[in-house]
Structure 1
Amino acid sequence: MKKLALLALAASLTACATANADSRTASASDKDWSAPKGADDRTPFASTYRPYPGRPTALVGATVYDGKGGRIDNGTVLLRDGKIVAAGDASLSTEGYDRIDGSGKFVTPGVIDIHSHLGDYPTPSVDAHSDGNEATSPMTPEVWAEHSVWPQDPGFTRALANGGVTSLQILPGSANLTGGRSVTLKNVPARTVQGMKFPGAPYGMKMACGENPKRVYGGKGRMPSTRMGNFAVNRQMWLDAKAYDGKKRDLGKETLKGVLAGDILVHNHCYRADEMALVMDMAKEMGYKVTAFHHAVEAYKIGDLLRENGVCSAIWADWYGFKMEAYDGILENAAFLRQADACVIIHSDDANGIQRLNQEAAKAQAAGRRAGIDIPDAEVIGWFTLNAARAMGIDGMTGSLEPGKMADVVLWNGDPLSVYSRPEKVWVDGALMFDAMDRKRRPVSDFELGQPGEGDVK
């Protein structure tokens, strides 16, 4: 009987998803969703994302963190037609809006993870699902992470419900010096990756330095097997790309040309400070820019160089010591970067960590406080909202509670920098996608049906 009940529930969810897809397409038919920056007539796989339908909503009485360093006590946030209308004090009129009492609660922009592998390394974690790294050549700029994304990965709904994640960048893995294109997604249920693809987001390109490429390919008896080999192979790749005339299509060189033109953003896995400095020199030599170093456990050593070069550090709060190049990782990394006035982002790189980016940011803040660096809560919120959006090239559309931006919003049941708090409600483009108080708005994937508390049919 339980199996029949689960099948019935699965059928019900499928029907509901289809109905929602139809209604959201109709409701957004008048919107102009442009192709990602850098796209041309030869760029396929365009976004078909359409927002789910929402209602005019007023969140009143909450403490509001706007994502750009501001705090509003007893604040009001207005959402309508998928956009932020206003974020201000209690004097804002809420006539014509559904009012939600946020007294004792907190409102932030939707959480953004700049470094995720959801969909490419989905759950269940089995070899058949390991699609995040084309580890057959140290240089694979021709591959695109979106072609491996599995929209049914239960990690997406867990990130939404437990972490308030509304947007995320899916990157290839780090076995390769050049791993291929990344893709930015809206965290909504969809049948296809195109249905999740963030409209207007630029592509990224994943690169890596250090131990991973030299271990993977040196272990195969081929170049690179050393750090100097890493740089030699990289530099030759850029020289070849600069010489590409486009007369005969080359998918890899098209991506590299997009980077050189500034249309595709470089996200570089790199741990050691000395290597980050070398990569920035290589970027100047070859004519491209590093947008962010990811993991960056030694970024605190070169905060001034990162600031001067306009490079963000996407980091963990406390991962260190798990391999040689991570031995100099320190808990105060984020705080020392902030003290140097360098860009700080808290990222996950993990299907569990993505559910707690708010807590990771709080841990990094606490480490700074113990070192005598006091960073305001309102600023720390930006480490997993606006700063991530900026480094992903989507800050004009999301990342802060500013009028005209996408209504990607989280209502927290307590202080978001407390381990005891979690999302109570999450909106994506003004549509209520998660509500902890309403079983019908607690999405689960196919693989979670029938798990304890996740799909029992009453």
Structure 2
Amino acid sequence: MRLGHGARALATLAAVALPLGACATKQERPKSAAAKAPPEPYARDPYPSTYRPYPGVPTLVRNVVIFDGEGNRIDNGSVLFADGKIVAVGAAVEAPAGATVIDGQGKYLTPGVVDIHSHLGDYPSPQVQALSDGNEATAPVTADVWAEHSVWPQDPGFGRALANGGVTTLQILPGSANLMGGRSVVLKNVYARTMQAMKFPGAPYGLKMACGENPKRVYGSKNQKPSTRMGNVAVDRQTWAKAVAYKRKWDKYERDGGDMPDRDIAMDTLRGVLSGEILVQNHCYRADEMAIVLDMAKEFGYHVTAFHHAVEAYKIADLLKANGTCAAVWADWYGFKMESYDGIGENLAILEKSGACAMIHSDDENGIQRLNQEVAKVLSSARHAGIAIAPEVAWKWLSLGPAKALGIDRQTGSLRPGKMADVVLWNGDPFSVYTRPDRVWIDGALLYDAHDPKRRPVSDFELGQPGAGDVK
């Protein structure tokens, strides 16, 4: 435990006084902070990232249309990256000696796609029960489980997301069977033997929560609480009340010392949320339920970072903006169950025009390969509704928006000098159904090249199988 100036002075005074004041009574002896048992706080991240970027070379891509991820467009632009970082972006950028120069005439360059809602690795391909590890559907609150402990790095979906969709970063979430489903993890989309070697360095953890039909259906069918929406909220509130008390005990221990409180792995996660270290990623469809959750967050002192799916977010765009809460949505998934009934194709566009934080997401191993096309569908719906949004502005929904909601926007999400060189060169307009990634770099390393069969991701699981290395 670190001692403040006052505590150190008090400890020194006590050390000097003891030999001279042997006759002093026990009550007269100064109470020394140094005499207390030092706190032994638990590790906040016991499974730290071991990610190391693949080697790259200084590269200049020129004569391209650039969407920088921050809403800007540069025609006939150039981007230079080296040592894993963006170096320069502009209309005229010179290549240093020895740099690889790529002429991208007729092509587009963007930041890598960031998917805030994926289950790759936890629900990998092939979809068999032996690999189904995304929902610990044994209790309505399983805040003790961590998605990273189910991630299978050999999932072929990672390579497909990279090669077909230009996805360079993704958040892996537990499923939505539970009110509190556990921790999420943010990964760099690179080949690796272990989860830790994919783990985005320094990215905050998330807590997956869920509203509505899923928890009440899963546990109501087991004849246990919750079986209603009011039961959902009641269990949430009771759990947060316990978490507040748990945090109070640990805060006191870490501040004052004394007897160490008993550990509770689930409460560790909720304490992290209450402390602002862990970000709440909340599955929720209906506007009224999102409003209730925002009130509950105020009651217990935490913040909802993003509502996922959020098909009725357009109804409360002003409320989301006022609370600093994002919405991660689909382009046109709705109507497949009652709580998704009132979705509209203009949802994301309305949120953008209202000034709310909004983005696209996949929640699907196939959709993650076409998130650029999902945004194109939103732009089409918006035009039909008379809402004009420039394509370069819409790219924020694919990169900087989700990066902000994951707490990693200082590292990635836009083509700003000093950020990670997570870059995609597209072979045409990225909002065309005919366009595919031409090349994909992560931290400046070329990990996919459509022109080089040897520079294509193949998982260990696929090695030796017919068609291994084919991009599908």
Confirm or deny a common fold (TM above 0.5).
Answer: yes
Confirm or deny that 1:78 pairs with 2:92: no
Equivalent residue number for residue 23 of structure 1: none
| Per-residue deviation, 1:452 | 5.7
Structure-2 change in CA distance of 1:413 and 1:452 (3 Å): farther
Could you tell me which amino acid in structure 2 is paired with residue 371 of structure 1? A
Q: What are the within-5 Å matches in structure 2 for residues 326-365 of structure 1?
A: 326-365=340-379
Work out the CA distance in 1 between the residues paired with 2:66 and 2:371.
18
Q: Is this contact kept in 2: 1:78–1:94, CA < 8 A?
A: no
Equivalent residue number for residue 34 of structure 1: none
Structure 1 residue aligned with 2:100, among 95, 98, 101? 98
Equivalent residue number for residue 64 of structure 1: 66
Quote the RMSD (CA, aligned, Å).
1.3
Work out the CA distance in 1 between the residues paired with 2:286 and 2:465.
42
Work out the CA distance in 1 between the residues paired with 2:203 and 2:293.
25
Structure-2 change in CA distance of 1:40 and 1:358 (3 Å): farther
Work out the CA distance in 2 between the residues paired with 1:43 and 1:438.
38
Equivalent residue number for residue 46 of structure 1: 48
Cα deviations by residue, 1:156-197 (Å, 9 ceiling, x for unpaired): 000000000000000000000000000000000100000000
Could you tell me which amino acid in structure 1 is paired with residue 161 of structure 2? A
Equivalent residue number for residue 330 of structure 2: 316
Could you tell me which amino acid in structure 1 is paired with residue 406 of structure 2? M
Could you tell me which amino acid in structure 1 is paired with residue 135 of structure 2? N
SS in 2 for 1:249: coil
Confirm or deny that 1:403 pairs with 2:405: no
Q: Is this contact kept in 2: 1:314–1:344, CA < 8 A?
A: yes
Equivalent residue number for residue 226 of structure 1: 228
Equivalent residue number for residue 27 of structure 1: none
For structure 2, list consecutive stretches of 5 or more residues without a partner in the other structure: 1-40, 251-260
Equivalent residue number for residue 35 of structure 1: none
| Per-residue deviation, 1:91 | 4.4
Structure 2 residue aligned with 1:242, among 236, 241, 244? 244
Q: What are the within-5 Å matches in structure 2 for residues 9-24 of structure 1?
A: none
Structure 2 residue aligned with 1:278, among 276, 279, 292? 292
Q: What are the within-5 Å matches in structure 2 for residues 182-193 of structure 1?
A: 182-193=184-195
Q: Is this contact kept in 2: 1:61–1:90, CA < 8 A?
A: no
Equivalent residue number for residue 18 of structure 2: none
More displaced, 265-274 or 92-101? 92-101
| Per-residue deviation, 1:41 | 3.3
| Per-residue deviation, 1:340 | 1.1
Structure-2 change in CA distance of 1:343 and 1:42 (3 Å): closer
| Per-residue deviation, 1:444 | 1.6
More displaced, 337-346 or 232-241? 337-346
| Per-residue deviation, 1:343 | 1.2
SS in 1 for 2:454: helix
| Per-residue deviation, 1:448 | 3.4
Equivalent residue number for residue 377 of structure 1: 391
Q: Is this contact kept in 1: 2:62–2:76, CA < 8 A?
A: yes
Work out the CA distance in 1 between the residues paired with 2:466 and 2:386.
44
More displaced, 242-251 or 381-390? 242-251
Q: What are the within-5 Å matches in structure 2 for residues 249-288 of structure 1?
A: 249-288=263-302
| Per-residue deviation, 1:209 | 0.3
| Per-residue deviation, 1:365 | 1.1
Structure-2 change in CA distance of 1:439 and 1:92 (3 Å): same
Q: What are the within-5 Å matches in structure 2 for residues 97-246 of structure 1?
A: 97-244=99-246, 245-246=249-250
Cα deviations by residue, 1:67-100 (Å, 9 ceiling, x for unpaired): 0001111111011000000111124444442101
Work out the CA distance in 2 between the residues paired with 1:324 and 1:41.
42
SS in 1 for 2:110: strand
Q: How many residues align?
A: 418
Work out the CA distance in 1 between the residues paired with 2:238 and 2:88.
50
Work out the CA distance in 2 between the residues paired with 1:405 and 1:125.
36
Structure-2 change in CA distance of 1:455 and 1:92 (3 Å): closer
| Per-residue deviation, 1:118 | 0.2
Could you tell me which amino acid in structure 2 is paired with residue 251 of structure 1? I
| Per-residue deviation, 1:445 | 2.0
Equivalent residue number for residue 432 of structure 1: 446
Work out the CA distance in 2 between the residues paired with 1:450 and 1:96.
37
Q: Is this contact kept in 1: 2:95–2:101, CA < 8 A?
A: no
Work out the CA distance in 1 between the residues paired with 2:68 and 2:198.
25
| Per-residue deviation, 1:40 | 6.1
Equivalent residue number for residue 22 of structure 1: none
SS in 1 for 2:370: helix
Cα deviations by residue, 1:359-378 (Å, 9 ceiling, x for unpaired): 00110111011100010000
Equivalent residue number for residue 14 of structure 2: none
| Per-residue deviation, 1:107 | 0.4
Structure-2 change in CA distance of 1:71 and 1:440 (3 Å): same
Could you tell me which amino acid in structure 2 is paired with residue 294 of structure 1? H
Equivalent residue number for residue 20 of structure 1: none
Could you tell me which amino acid in structure 2 is paired with residue 56 of structure 1? P
SS in 2 for 1:243: helix
More displaced, 332-341 or 117-126? 332-341
Confirm or deny that 1:442 pairs with 2:456: yes
Q: Is this contact kept in 2: 1:108–1:411, CA < 8 A?
A: yes
Q: Is this contact kept in 1: 2:329–2:361, CA < 8 A?
A: yes
For structure 1, list consecutive stretches of 5 or more residues without a partner in the other structure: 1-38
| Per-residue deviation, 1:198 | 0.3
Equivalent residue number for residue 9 of structure 1: none
| Per-residue deviation, 1:43 | 2.9
Q: Is this contact kept in 1: 2:453–2:469, CA < 8 A?
A: no
SS in 2 for 1:444: coil
Structure-2 change in CA distance of 1:455 and 1:184 (3 Å): closer
Structure-2 change in CA distance of 1:60 and 1:42 (3 Å): closer
| Per-residue deviation, 1:455 | 4.6
Work out the CA distance in 1 between the residues paired with 2:310 and 2:291.
12
Q: What are the within-5 Å matches in structure 2 for residues 402-421 of structure 1?
A: 402-421=416-435
SS in 2 for 1:279: helix
SS in 2 for 1:184: strand
Work out the CA distance in 2 between the residues paired with 1:404 and 1:198.
17
Cα deviations by residue, 1:89-143 (Å, 9 ceiling, x for unpaired): 1244444421011111000001100000000000010001110011000001111
Could you tell me which amino acid in structure 1 is paired with residue 171 of structure 2? Q
Cα deviations by residue, 1:358-408 (Å, 9 ceiling, x for unpaired): 000110111011100010000111101000000000000000000110000
Q: Is this contact kept in 2: 1:82–1:429, CA < 8 A?
A: yes
